[in-house]
Structure 1
Amino acid sequence: MELPNKNTLTYAEYLQLGEDVQYEVIDGKIYNMSPSPNVKHQSVLVELSTEFNMYMRNKSCRLLVEIDVCLSGEDDPNKVDEWLRPDIVIVCDKNKIHENRIVGAPDFIVEILSKSTAKIDKLVKFHRYQQAGVKEYWIVDPVHEIIDVYVLENNEYKHVGIFANDEKVKVSLFEDLSIDLKNIFREEF
């Protein structure tokens, strides 16, 4: 799918393009979100989502995958000129959850790297999430089977560590949750 033949795009215009069109707009730049992620990416996404979702049953926070996020908190799609589509978001403020998007910064975001998105996830999105006040950000490298964990402290991300193999990752957002990476980076079939 070709990028729109224009320099700017509002969220309202984007919604008119159809459900099969997937773009992100960050700092005024339009990013095409295709092709679809590979099997390893999908496997990691499903496993992480399962771990978080099982924990969050009967809790006030909500896990969503691959949903548009309007970090600015602007509710009017005609005024929204930036949105992203993280792999996983956790939102603890139900007022931020709208029918087709999140309006405002989620509490927690996971991006799973692919060849075409690694630079954007590590640099562009990192800075936007930090600026917007996302409390915890995980960058998952499915090829090397590692997770970089960042926690927001004094409006800047602190690198908590790099986790791999059979390690457990403490989720700062929830006092009593750790994710066992042997469940995330399972052997492929």
Structure 2
Amino acid sequence: MMTIMATTSEDLLHENELRPLTVDDLALLPNDGKRYELVDGKLIVSAAPFNIHQLVSDNVVALLRHAGRQHSQYRAFSAVGLSPNQHNQYIPDVTLMKRSDYTHKYSSGPPALVVEVTSDSTSLYDRNLKKDRYLKFGVPAYWIIDPDPDLPVLTVYELIADDYKQTAHVVGDEVFETAQPFPIRVVPAELTAW
């Protein structure tokens, strides 16, 4: 294995031209506010999110923690690393995982739910590549939230017969309710509220 001395994302991008990167390579980067993910050894760099994105992510974490308060084996997190192998690491905006799957670095098992809060720059990535990767990872439920303050949207995919099926698409004040992995009630308009 080749050792690198990357100290910036630019160094790592240059290194990525020479070989596939690993999760261990990501650990060499400074905490500079950017989000670094790996897809088949290729580095994906995202800028820091806008305020509305962070507000919605925080509201989803709070909603899941409140809904799951009777189910102590689950916990919701923001920006937790998921690594099915050394050449892939995804960082969903929100992850709901079992206590038994939590590690101090990154999780190598599929969580119960992942949520992506989409933006103009990440919409295609969230709706296509990430959806495909979460499916292959075995994530049973995937939510995509469009945080438009005037008309927020929640789209829900569930793993059914080895494929994701869209099971809900709710807008604004419409209600989505699920019993998996525990009872949860979501109103998109409430996710964008202060």
Q: Among 139, 151, 174, which residue is 2:158 paired with?
A: 151
Q: Deviation digits for residues 16-74 of structure 1, max 9, x if unmatched?
A: 2223363101133210021x1111111111111111111222421111111111134xx
How far is 1:171 from its partner?
2.9
Q: Are positions 1:123 and 2:134 aligned together? A: no
Q: Deviation digits for residues 137-188 of structure 1, max 9, x if unmatched?
A: 00111124101100100110011121011111123423422123332132x6
* Residues 108 and 173, structure 1, Cα contact 8 Å, conserved in 2: no
**Partner Cα distance (1:177, 1:97) in 2:** 21
Aligned amino acid, residue 24 of structure 1: E
* Residues 74 and 96, structure 2, Cα contact 8 Å, conserved in 1: yes
C-alpha spacing 1:90/1:42, structure 2 compared with 1 (3 Å): same
Residue of structure 1 in register with 2:45 after alignment:
32
Aligned amino acid, residue 137 of structure 1: Y
Residue of structure 1 in register with 2:6 after alignment:
none
Aligned amino acid, residue 14 of structure 2: N
Residue of structure 1 in register with 2:87 after alignment:
81
How far is 1:116 from its partner?
1.7
Equivalenced residues, count: 178
Q: TM-score scaled to structure 2, two decimals?
A: 0.84
Question: What is the alpha-carbon root mean square deviation over aligned residues?
Answer: 1.7
Residue of structure 2 in register with 1:77 after alignment:
none
User: Which SS does the other structure have where 1:6 is aligned?
Assistant: helix
Unpaired segments of 5 or more residues in structure 1?
Answer: 73-79
Aligned amino acid, residue 104 of structure 2: E
Q: Among 153, 177, 181, which residue is 2:184 paired with?
A: 177
Q: Among 92, 96, 105, which residue is 1:100 paired with?
A: 105
C-alpha spacing 1:102/1:6, structure 2 compared with 1 (3 Å): same
Q: Among 43, 53, 73, which residue is 2:65 paired with?
A: 53
Q: TM-score scaled to structure 1, two decimals?
A: 0.86
Residue of structure 2 in register with 1:68 after alignment:
81
How far is 1:135 from its partner?
0.4
- Identity across aligned pairs (percent)? 25
Q: Among 139, 143, 146, which residue is 2:144 paired with?
A: 139
Unpaired segments of 5 or more residues in structure 2?
Answer: 1-8
